[in-house]
């Protein structure tokens, strides 16, 4: 696990693979830790076994907090449209202008996770570069990674033209 999380592997693995591997290992660790405490003492229902096998309480508490956070994120998702998109002169930054969804409030310095279904279904966090009272959300997105990375696909001139001309959907 330590080797797979090193910068050598992280820079070579697609983010989606890293993300799903991370979730798999975390949930597997929780399950194995709970099963580890369920030994003969627990199965025989001895006082010592009851006391020692309370790991599930601690792990279930953190899982409830995790799933509550996921539900909160899903419930707060809003859909909007891309108004304008520009590339910097060196093609390493994309400036994305998105219509601010109704009821979307933020403070300076906050970030928003965005998903552009025309690219794929993954979510990416970016700092909001516009003022809280503005009608548009502005994201300055630095192009990083390989040619097939999410930001590289976003920066493709055909993709940008298509997103702007068709009012590309963005989930925030």
DSSP for 77-121, please give it: --EEEEEEEEE-TTSSEEEEEEEPPTT----TT-EEEEB-TTT-S
Q: Are 111 and 137 in contact (CB under 8 A)?
A: no
Q: Are 101 and 80 in contact (CB under 8 A)?
A: yes
Tokens of 133: 């009272």
pTM passes above 0.75: no
pLDDT tens digits, the chain, 172 residues: what are they?
677 667 777 677 777 777 788 889 888 888 888 777 777 776 677 777 666 666 677 778 888 898 999 899 888 888 898 888 888 888 788 999 999 998 889 998 899 999 998 888 888 899 999 999 999 999 999 988 777 788 888 888 888 888 888 878 888 8
Q: Are 138 and 95 in contact (CB under 8 A)?
A: yes
Is residue 16 helix, strand or coil?
Answer: helix
């Amino acid at each position: 696990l330590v080797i797979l999380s090193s910068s050598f592997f992280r820079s070579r693995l697609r983010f989606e693979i890293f993300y799903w591997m991370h979730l798999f290992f975390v949930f597997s660790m929780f399950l194995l830790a709970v099963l580890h405490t369920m030994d003969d003492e627990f199965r025989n229902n001895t006082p010592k076994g009851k006391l020692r096998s309370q790991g599930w309480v601690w792990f279930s508490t953190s899982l409830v907090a995790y799933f509550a956070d996921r539900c909160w994120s899903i419930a707060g998702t809003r859909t909007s449209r891309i108004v304008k998109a520009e590339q910097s002169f060196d093609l390493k930054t994309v400036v994305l202008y998105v219509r601010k969804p109704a009821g979307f409030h933020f403070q300076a310095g906050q970030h928003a996770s965005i998903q552009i279904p025309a690219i794929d279904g993954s979510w990416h966090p970016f700092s909001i570069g516009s003022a809280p009272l503005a009608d548009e959300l502005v994201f300055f997105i630095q192009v990083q990674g390989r040619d097939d990375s999410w930001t590289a696909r976003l920066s493709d001139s055909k993709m940008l033209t298509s997103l702007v001309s068709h009012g590309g959907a963005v989930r925030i």
